[in-house]
Structure 1
């Protein structure tokens, strides 16, 4: 429908319409950047500010001024073009959401993450479906067409069940929660939730398209969807794996490689749109099929290439196309009670479902379980996408769409203060210390601090540390690895960063076992760092270290380290000498 409208509108487009599109985009970009900056000042993700900015550019704010400024800046004849731009932004965003999914985030937590995810989807789905029965009486007719109760109920339930994985991951990085067990568990649960929610949406869209389970059209859509998934897994994923050696040979993301990726997710979007389960699911699936093994640099460069145009241009246009439909001032007095009921259902379903499931899986105390429940209530842009699909499919009228958009914004805004209420900074700091075992050191022990650059090549350094300790008891070897954080792209990249930490911890566990097998106590410190040299010295100082063991290639100057710490510093693997050589400062 969108594409045919635009093609029809594109016949004989004059210069005036084109210039108005450019003016509208310029306005949207300026407001989005300003609103995002304001959101960051009040501890909210920038995307929240950009969503609110898009809403304010519609009748909610501009429509209140004389002259209908929303119609003046965004006239009807340019809106089809803005819609295409917005949908391109959604396709790229959904590709990145799929790209962000990484199985290493779930490794070792499959059972508990699965229980939390299923519970945090099932309860809001059930409560949302019950609420839909009540809402259907006053919102069951859209543009003069009756909406069947089954697709209406399923869609409202699905809308209540979503968690915005990218926004959740961003909040966790901003607060440093990735360094705690609760943070890792929440991220794993959200990753499972993301997959289940989009699979659920595919089924719901099949029902919406067919109208019921009982027609031939429904099994046809499901059958083609399954066939699409099988082809993506069995054919497309192995082909995409060839991108990694091609990228490594070129040493960069070449135009040809970028064209394969971009053309691929656009083609996948076309296929799922033809199937009847919406084009965004094709882009999401293609992103999920991207290679993970040895592909971190490739995926990060793809993300960085797509980020600027998507964050600055495409997604803000989506926010304003949504805002042009949202008119909060047009809500009736009776709608405020309905809005309160929607908010209660959305918050209670996600929070109770995730919190109770976390408690049942042994998360203690209840405040930590509540922190998981609070984070799983994050909806953000992901919810807006689903609601826009519902309105486009004729399931939601404008009033109900407005109330659900308000719910999406408020639940996301409330996530950060709720998280600080249940999981305050003092508790977070204590858990970080516990996760790193900083409080479990031996009181009077001979400690050797081993700085690990690459865990795969650190076995010799660990062995040397054990040899230095010798028969000294009590003793302990502290293994430290700092992963340089660098810049995290606005659009994504958070799960890739967190996956780095997860992989690092797994590799460091092998080195820890090597130490304990020697009968020596061991502790592992691993985390992100924007200033590795400073933090490495800080760790050595804080842990009452007797001797520091550095690699010859470490950026830390051994002489400066010895002077600052007033400790012996041993440099191993000195270049151009025997592999066992070392230098003591």
Structure 2
């Protein structure tokens, strides 16, 4: 009987995964028609699928389609997908793109981190001032404030990289500076996220347990790094790269599970492994890491659906319009103004600075990963997550149209020297990149 139950549940989960992947395909297609990054369509449709199904079917039929045991299995799948995807992202965060001006990148990173952190403090202050208990929750104040601040400072490196590639800006000065600064900001943001989760324990024992979990996860990650640097590992990778990639993926999931059992989110464990994978010229691990990340990315739509079901189903009626509007406005103001000021101080012309500011305002999938970590740790409530999700979708969706508006405006700008406009060198680089 147990075997039959296992087979039935497995078939149920596979059927739901097929539906989820079909929804992801539809979301990507819709995003392409709207000239938006494909991930916007995946996220939006995935997050809304659960609440929409509950509204149309009613609680009884919804529970029959998605019973608790099946939902628990989907949660495991989504966690595994996130962990595998995050390995690739963390590995990329080790170093930024080459040849970008370091001084400018440092100033843009500072401008894209500090003002958004301040805007996050203002948002947390608004929640406290309005006594919004649904958004506040009962997490320790320091953890709550820091997690909101971190959530407002994130820039989505994968989505930005995709936008730069699609628009032929990967080799432009603005694109290189923005991507390098985003990598720096997200690396710092993950460290602050870990600190917020540790503070969320609310006691010395909890903090020490989080520190112990980080130490164990770090030790495991360093052990993996050491193993990958050995000659036998390099020879095995040269002979059977796929087998080594599978073993590396299994090791990542093992570290993530161990850290979760010790009280730290599994996402942090995966990030530690990604940071630890060496960039070894004698055995370039990037293809294996990319394969692991692609496998995770394929199943990440399950994470969007699970988030919509578990976090957002009861949040639409509890989140106030004031909270959502303030979140979007403060996020745009902090990131855009800070990045623009950083680019100008770093020596970039106004045209470049405006593009950098728009690019740095991109959130996307990375934001959702941070929010999931904060929600899983009990720091962020459903209504607060909903407001931040709307902010992430809005800021990412604005990136393409705003870049197009800047291009149109600068092409039409008068130029006494008879050039194509103040952005002519930048546009030439963009067009050159788009033909490669």
Residue matched to 1:110: 102
Residue equivalent to 1:322? 307
State the partner residue of 1:509: none
| Distance in 2, Cα, partners of 1:108 & 1:415 | 21
Is residue 245 of structure 2 the alignment partner of residue 258 of structure 1? yes
Confirm or deny: 8 A CA contact 2:85 2:293 kept in the other structure: no
Q: Runs of 4+ in structure 1 displaced over 6 angstroms?
A: none
CA distance in 1: counterparts of 2:269 and 2:280, whole angstroms: 22
**CA offsets, 1:117-176, max 9 Å, x none?**
132122111221222132145444689x73322211111111111111111111001111
Query: Residue 462 of structure 1 aligns with which residue?
Result: none
Q: Does 1:127 align with 2:115?
A: no
Q: Which has the higher contact order (CA 8 A, sep 6+)?
A: 2
Residue in 2 aligned with 1:510? none
Counterpart in the other structure of 1:203 = 195
Aligned-residue RMSD, C-alpha:
3.2
Shift in Å, 1:241:
2.9
Where do residues 447-458 of structure 1 align in structure 2 (5 Å cutoff)? none
Superposition deviation, residue 287 in structure 1 = 1.5
Q: Cα–Cα, structure 1 residues 528 and 247, in superposed 2: closer, same or farther, change >3 Å?
A: farther
TM-score calculated relative to the size of structure 1:
0.65
Gaps of 5+ in 1: 1-9, 439-525, 531-585
1:131–1:528 Cα change, 3 Å:
closer
- 1:330/1:183 CA distance change after superposition, 3 Å: closer
Unmatched tracts of structure 2, length 5 or more = 412-420
Name the structure 1 match of 2:297: 311
Does the Cα contact within 8 Å between 1:368 and 1:423 map onto a contact in 2? no
CA gap of 1:360–1:226, structure 2 versus 1, over 3 A, is farther
Alpha-carbon distance change, 94 to 305 in structure 1, aligned in 2, over 3 angstroms:
closer
Deviation (angstroms), 1:192? 0.8
What residue number does 1:430 align with? 424
SS at match of 1:205: helix
Alignment of 1:186-585 (within 5 A): 186-209=178-201, 211=202, 215=204, 217-218=206-207, 221-222=210-211, 225=214, 228-229=217-218, 232=221, 235-242=223-230, 245-246=234-235, 249-250=238-239, 253-255=241-243, 257-274=244-261, 276-294=263-281, 298-304=285-291, 306-307=293-294, 309-312=295-298, 314-324=299-309, 325-327=311-313, 330-331=316-317, 335-365=320-350, 367-424=351-408, 426=411, 430-432=424-426
Show the counterpart of 2:46: 54
Shift of 1:25: 1.4
Asked if the contact 1:232–1:286 (Cα under 8 Å) also holds between the matched residues in 2, the reply is yes
Q: 1:221-264 CA deviation, whole Å, 9 max, x = no partner?
A: 3466367547745x5434323477426742x5141x12331133
Q: Taking structure 2 as the reference length, what is the TM-score of the superposition?
A: 0.85
Deviation (angstroms), 1:16:
4.3
Structure ranking higher in helix proportion:
2
- Partner of 2:362, secondary structure, is coil
1:75-224 superposed matches below 5 A: 75-103=67-95, 105=97, 109-136=101-128, 138-140=131-133, 146-209=138-201, 211=202, 215=204, 217-218=206-207, 221-222=210-211
TM-superposed deviation, 1:363: 1.0
- 2 CA distance for matches of 1:120 and 1:528? 27
Preserved CA contact (<8 Å) 2:160 2:359: yes
Decide whether the 8 Å contact of 1:133 with 1:149 is kept in 2.
no
Deviation at 1:290, TM superposition (A): 2.0
Distance 2:14 2:255 in 1: 29
Which one is further off, 322-331 or 113-122? 322-331
Over 3 Å counting, the alpha-carbon distance change for 1:26 and 1:344 in structure 2 is same
Distance in 2 between residues matched to 1:167 and 1:207, nearest whole Å: 30
Larger Rg: 1
Is the alpha carbon distance of 1:423 and 1:264 closer, same or farther for their aligned partners in structure 2, counting shifts above 3 Å? farther
Q: Supply the distance in 1 between the matched residues of 2:261 and 2:104 (Cα, whole angstroms).
A: 37
The total of aligned residue pairs comes to 421
Residue 300 of structure 1 and its aligned partner are, at CA, apart by 2.4
CA deviation profile, 1:281-315 (whole Å, cap 9, x unmatched): 221221222232437864225423652x4333x21
Distance (Å, rounded) in 1 between the aligned partners of 2:186 and 2:8: 43
Q: For the Cα contact (< 8 Å) 1:106–1:113, is it kept in 2?
A: no
Contact map agreement 1:206 1:276 (CA 8 A) in 2: no
Deviation at 1:529, TM superposition (A): 5.8
